[in-house]
Amino acid sequence: MRIQDDIKLDFDDVLIKPKRSTLVSRKKANLERTFKFKHSHHRWTGIPIIASNMDHTGTIAMAHVLMEFPMLTALCKFVESTEWGWNNNIIRTIGLDQNLDELTDDSMWICLDVANGYTERFNDYVALMRRHAATKDRIIIAGNVCTPEATEQILLAGADIVKIGIGPGSVCTTRKMTGVGYPQLSATMECGDAAHGLGGHIITDGGCTVVGDIAKSFGGGADFVMLGGMLAGHKECEGEIEDDKMIFYGMSSTEAQIKHHGGKKSHRASEGKAVMIDYRGNVADTVQEILGGLRSSCTYAGAKSIKDLPKCTTFVKVNRQLNTVFN
């Protein structure tokens, strides 16, 4: 047993310090980025925000809206194959039980998504994906982990992008059920630094509850930000509406295990919860608010583009107790 004494930070622990800006208007802030990836050598240009591969946000309807911005959607792995209409903005999600020989679609992106990316089986599977004929030329996303050592290992195994976050999601209870996790802003900064040193990229997955958290993620070195709760509750989530509310649940919750696996297995605990959230209408309206807030963030920080935000960001640590009182 050992204790790390240095304090790790979450989004609520900091604010971005404002700086002189040469931008004459918020609308001049460029939110698009062009990426070239480490192993696949593909290029992609767009706004680096991804709808999470959950039941409610990783839907075909969500993908059709977000591609107009252009943003990405990681489709839930339980979406029926007959519904796929792949283009450069739909990401396919798979698990460790996927037969790679069956991946005959034209998706440029593929996401290996597991709750615990620290197992040898997971790392070996990433390496297999990079060698396999069906996946070797695709942009491979793999996760989740939350430490720089694991980030480096997954990139060296063959991933282009590593998904970062253990337990920060709004409907995830991993930290409560297991005591395992890592504050998400520090995870972003440390894993981003490790990935960029190897020519790789990261996605911050979970923990963003307001637009300012997305800005802090990008300022902390995230290349992409994945959103679940912030995009939940919309028409495009395709859930039932009761009393102007929709159900939203984690993919390790009892509800998800019953829906997709016929019940919770005796050796597993539920590491997610279900909540009722207000119905929020069209997701396009929410996305416009998110993008408007990010343009303001860039302007306040003196960044001409989302790519410049890490170079321009100075974080100021805040007293969380006082922050709670005044908000």
Q: Which residues are catalytic?
A: 172
Q: What is the CA radius of gyration of the chain?
A: 19
> Phi/psi at 197 (nearest 5 deg)?
-65, -20
In contact, 187 and 164? CB cutoff 8 Å: yes
- Other C-beta atoms lying within 10 Å of the C-beta of residue 170: 17
Please tell me the distance from the alpha carbon of residue 273 to that of residue 289, in angstroms, as a whole number. 27
Q: Which strand (E) or helix (H) includes residue 320? A: helix 320-326
* Helix, strand, or coil (residue 147): coil
In contact, 137 and 40? CB cutoff 8 Å: yes
Helix/strand/coil percent split, the chain, to 5: 35, 20, 45
**Smallest Cα–Cα separation from 232: which of 247, 251, 243?**
247
Please tell me the distance from the alpha carbon of residue 157 to that of residue 239, in angstroms, as a whole number. 37
Per this entry, what is the length of the chain? 327
Q: What's 177-192 look like in SS3?
A: HHCCCCCHHHHHHHHH
Please tell me the distance from the alpha carbon of residue 248 to that of residue 49, in angstroms, as a whole number. 20
Please tell me the distance from the alpha carbon of residue 315 to that of residue 312, in angstroms, as a whole number. 10
**Smallest Cα–Cα separation from 276: which of 252, 242, 310?**
242
